[in-house]
Structure 1
Amino acid sequence: MSMSIQGKTAIVTGGCRGIGLAIAQHFVDCGANVMIADRDEAALEQAVSDCDEGNGKVRKFSGNICEKLAMANLLSATLDSFDRIDILVNAHRFVEASDPLDTDPGVLEEMLRQNMISGLRLSQMVAKRMIKQAEGQTDLVQAGAIVNLSTLAASRPVPQMLGYSIACAAQEQATRGLALSLAPHRIRVNGVRFSSVMSHELKCALKEDDSLRSQIVAGTPLGRIASADDVAETAQYLVSEGARFVTGQIISIDGGRSLADPVTAQGL
C-alpha cells in the first residue's frame, strides 16, 4: 500500500497553527508542495519558515477564506506557484461557546459559515479544477482528494456549544454528499473526526485548568491525548493512493474515547 504524496500539490486551510500546521508540515516532509492558507499574516510567515527550510515547497496565502473572492484568489495563487492542485484539506475551524437558548440567529449562521459553508464552497471550486486537470487521463488515475476536519461534537452534542456541534455534523454530511457527487470524476472526499488533540485551543484550555489533562486521559481508553501528528498521518493516508478505494468515510481519531467517555467542550 503506497501512502506516497511525493510531488503532489496541496492546499491546507487553517494551516498557520495547531492541527492545520501539523498537516502542512507533515505533507511537506512527505515531499508535497503546500499552499498554507490562513488570516494571520505574522503566523503564516512563521509557518512557512517552520515548514519550508529553503526547499521552495511551501507558499502562503493570507485572506478570509469564507469570502468567495478570497477563495478564487487562493486557487489562482496555488496554480501560479505550483501549476496544479491535487489535494485540499479543509482544516480551518472556528470554535465558540453558544447558549442553546440564544435566539440570535447570527451565532448559528456564523458557526455554519466558518466551519461548513466556506469549506464546501472551496471544495466545489477546487473540484472543478481537479476535473479539468484530469481530462484525457485514464479512469484508473485519481483526479484529486479532499479531506474535511470535524470533531466528536458532530455525533455527541455539547449543549454549551450547540452551534459548533451542528456545524460539525453539517460538515460531515457535506463530506458524504460531495463524495457521492464527485466519485464519477475520480475525486475522493473523506473526513477526519477527532476528540482531544494537543492543538492550540486545548493548550490554552490546559493553561487555565491543568486538571483537564487528567480528566481527558482518564476518559480515553488508549490513555493519552492525541498529537496533531496523529491527525496529520491519517490525513496523509486519506489523500494517498493507499486509500484509492475509500470515499465518503469519516475516520475517528479519538483513542476510543467515543466508546466510553462523555464529550466535554474543553476536550474538543
Structure 2
Amino acid sequence: MTTGFEGRSVIVTGAASGIGRAAALQFAEQGAKVLVADLNQDGAEETVKAIETAGGTARAVAGDLSDPQVVDEVVATTVQVFGSLDILVNNAGITDSMAALADVDDAEWERVIRINLTAPFLLTRAALPHMLEAGRGTIVFTASEAGLRGSASGTAYTASKHGVVGLVKSLAVMYRKQGIRTNAIVPAGTQTNILANSLEPEKITALVNTASGQAQADGVAGPHGPTVLRDILRTNAGRRTSAEEQAAAIVFLASSAAGKINGVILPVDDGWSAV
C-alpha cells in the first residue's frame, strides 16, 4: 500500500506514551518526519530517541497544548525544522472522574474541556494556514466512545469528546474543497495510561469503591456517576485493544489509501458501537 509519508511531516500530540507514541513510531517507520508534542518532556524525548534509533527523524516539543504559546512553538518548530506541516494528529487528552453532572466541580469541567477540546482547536487553527497555503493536509483526531454515547464516561469527558466529533465534522465540510481531510478514530477499551480508555473492570471497581468508601466516611450516598457506568462498561466494552492497533487506524486515515475518506468518525472498538 502506498502511504505517501515519505518526505511528509506530522505532528502527533500526546506522543510521550500510549496511542500517541505508537502512532509516532508507525509514521516514522513509514518515512514521515515526526514532531512529538506532549506535556511529559521525558516521555516525549524517549519517543524521539526510539524513532531516531530506528533510523527515523523526529523532534520533541514539551508543554501544555492549551497554552497558545506552546501551540505556536509546536507549529513553528515543525515548519522550520521539517519544511512543511502535512499531517496533524490531535491525540492528547485526559480523563475525568466519571462524575455525573451534579457532582462535577468547576475545576474538573474546565480542565477536561481545556485539554480535550480547546487544545486541539487551538492547534488545528494554528496548523490550518500552512495546509491551506500548500493546498493539502490531513488531520486526524482521537475521539472516544464517549463522543458517541452518554454511557462511556463522566459528564465532562463525554461533553468534551462530543465536541471533538462536532469539530471533526465541521472541519471536513469547511475545508474539503481546499484539499484538507479531517477524520477521527473512536477508541474503546485500549491498553494506555488513561483510566477512561482502559475500561478494566478492576480499575472501574476500585474507582467506585474508593469513592464509595469516602462517601460513607462523610456520611453521604455513594458516587452516582461511577455507580451508573460500572455495569454498562463491563457489559458493552468488548475486547481491549492495543495502542498499536489504534495507531494503525490513525496512520491509515492519514494515508493516501484513505484519500476519499473525509468527516468519518471511525470506531476501533471491537463492535462496541454496534451494541
- Give the alignment's TM-score, normalised by structure 2: 0.82
Partners of 1:259 and 1:188 lie apart in 2 by: 25
Q: Does 1:181 align with 2:177?
A: no
Seen in structure 2, the aligned counterparts of structure 1 residues 159 and 91 have a Cα distance that, compared at 3 Å, is closer
Deviations 1:137-169 (A, max 9, x none): xxxxxx110001111011221486110001000
Seen in structure 2, the aligned counterparts of structure 1 residues 204 and 197 have a Cα distance that, compared at 3 Å, is closer
Show the counterpart of 1:236: 251
Show the counterpart of 1:192: 185
Partners of 1:225 and 1:216 lie apart in 2 by: 12
Show the counterpart of 2:123: 122
Q: CA deviation at 1:242?
A: 1.0
Q: Give matches, 1:11-22, under 5 Å.
A: 11-22=11-22
Show the counterpart of 1:33: 33
Deviations 1:3-55 (A, max 9, x none): 34222100001110011111101111111110000111111221211222163
Seen in structure 2, the aligned counterparts of structure 1 residues 28 and 216 have a Cα distance that, compared at 3 Å, is farther
Partners of 1:24 and 1:206 lie apart in 2 by: 25
Q: CA deviation at 1:75?
A: 0.8
Whichever residue aligns with residue 25 of structure 1, its letter is: L
Whichever residue aligns with residue 124 of structure 2, its letter is: S
Structure 2: which 5+ residue stretches go unaligned? 207-231
- Cα RMSD (Å) of the superposition? 2.6
Show the counterpart of 1:255: 270
% identity of equivalent residues = 25
Partners of 2:26 and 2:153 lie apart in 1 by: 33
Partners of 1:208 and 1:220 lie apart in 2 by: 14
Structure 1: which 5+ residue stretches go unaligned? 135-142, 261-268
Seen in structure 2, the aligned counterparts of structure 1 residues 205 and 250 have a Cα distance that, compared at 3 Å, is closer
Partners of 1:236 and 1:162 lie apart in 2 by: 30
Seen in structure 2, the aligned counterparts of structure 1 residues 218 and 104 have a Cα distance that, compared at 3 Å, is closer
Q: Does 1:147 align with 2:162?
A: no
The structure with the greater share of residues assigned to helix is 2
Deviations 1:89-134 (A, max 9, x none): 0010011213420363443232221111110121121011111233
Whichever residue aligns with residue 234 of structure 1, its letter is: A
Partners of 2:152 and 2:77 lie apart in 1 by: 40
Query: 8 Å contact 2:38–2:61 — kept in the other structure?
Result: yes
Show the counterpart of 1:138: none
Show the counterpart of 1:161: 154
Partners of 1:108 and 1:216 lie apart in 2 by: 22
Whichever residue aligns with residue 38 of structure 1, its letter is: D
Whichever residue aligns with residue 263 of structure 2, its letter is: G
Show the counterpart of 1:6: 6
Show the counterpart of 1:264: none
Whichever residue aligns with residue 70 of structure 2, its letter is: A
Query: 8 Å contact 1:217–1:225 — kept in the other structure?
Result: no
Q: CA deviation at 1:211?
A: 8.9
Query: 8 Å contact 1:13–1:38 — kept in the other structure?
Result: yes
Seen in structure 2, the aligned counterparts of structure 1 residues 11 and 237 have a Cα distance that, compared at 3 Å, is same
Show the counterpart of 2:194: 201
Q: CA deviation at 1:188?
A: 0.5
Number of residue pairs aligned between Structure 1 and Structure 2:
248
- Give the alignment's TM-score, normalised by structure 1: 0.84
SS in 2 for 1:200: coil
Greater Rg over alpha carbons, structure: 2
